Copies of this chain bind each other. A is one copy, B any other.
Amino acid sequence: VSRADAGVRVWALPGLPEIAPGDDLAALLAAARGAPFGPGEVLVIAHKVVSKAEGRVVSLDEVEPSPRALELAAQLGKEDPRHVEVVLRETAEIVRAQRGVLISRTRHGFVCANAGVDASNAGEGRLVLLPLDPDASARRLRASLPGRPAVVIADSFGRAWRHGQCDVAIAIAGLAAMDDWRGRSDSFGRELHATCIAIADEAAAAADLARAGKDAREPAVVVEGLGRHVVEDDGPGAAALVRAREEDLFG
């Protein structure tokens, strides 16, 4: 028995060029797709290319570290206090600063290492920031893409008690953030109390599996088979996934 046709298919869009500030990302994605996106398709795109297209890139040359950045860099053993300065500018609240690791709550409410500021694949002497308003970026992309696919913007986040990183959704347009089974019944008719599946995060994780690797420049991935979670309205975005600070269950 094979039901490969009925399941979920995930594949990377080939041929996307290196993205620079000001590039028309939607046009480049449309060209890479070659045909309109199909109904029910979800485009998952690494935040880094969105940030680059939007000019959310900082040259370390132009950064003057504050006393606080110098102090934190020394405390954490970070080589470049200018990098720490950029992280602090993107940070609403420092969640942890210990053992060489700086965990921030960003202005969007995401809790992640270095406030999402990343030097990898940024180019020499440059840092890539998270988009200013990722959900707005996702909505703009969706509106501009032929076939109007659902759009998820993804980043790799660490986890509190587990090694390794998983891609999660930092922005969503047109896909349900969650599939909420609370109040529905299980297969024995018993009410399910706490089952709320983070569909968009699982789609981001699935998309990451289809990338050949971090050095392979395959930032855009198509996920097919999630049509029942795709919605006409853009929806509340990844903002719906952020727990309010006072609701933290684990942190």
Identify the A interface with B (CB < 8 A): 1-4, 6-15, 32-35, 95-96, 99, 101, 103, 105, 109-111, 113, 119-124, 156, 158-168, 177-179, 181, 184-188, 190, 192-199, 201-203, 205-206, 208-210, 213-217, 221, 224-226, 240-243, 248-251
A199: chain B residues within 8 A (beta carbon): 164, 209
**Partner among B11, B110, B156, B168 whose Cβ is within 8 Å of the Cβ of A6:** B11
On whether the beta carbons of A250 and B111 are closer than 8 Å, the reply is yes
Distance (whole angstroms) from the CB of A91 to the closest CB of chain B: 14
B249 touches A158 (CB 8 A): yes
Whether B178 and A243, one on each chain, are in contact in the complex, defined by CB atoms closer than 8 angstroms, is no
Give the distance to chain B from A110, nearest Cβ to Cβ, in Å: 8
Q: How far is the CB of A39 from chain B (nearest CB, A)?
A: 15
A217 to B187 alpha-carbon distance, docked (Å): 7
Q: Known contacts A215-B186, A215-B187, A249-B103: does B14 contact A162 (CB below 8 Å)?
A: no
CB pair A7–B4 under 8 Å, yes or no, is no
Residues of chain B within 8 A of A193, CB atoms compared: 120
11 pairs of residues in contact across A and B, judged by CB atoms under 8 Å: A3-B12, A9-B10, A119-B190, A121-B187, A123-B188, A162-B168, A162-B201, A162-B241, A164-B241, A166-B201, A195-B214
Tell me the complex Cα distance, A34–B158, Å. 38
A203 to chain B minimum Cβ distance, whole angstroms, is 7
Contact B251 A160, beta carbon cutoff 8 Å? yes
A160 touches B250 (CB 8 A): yes
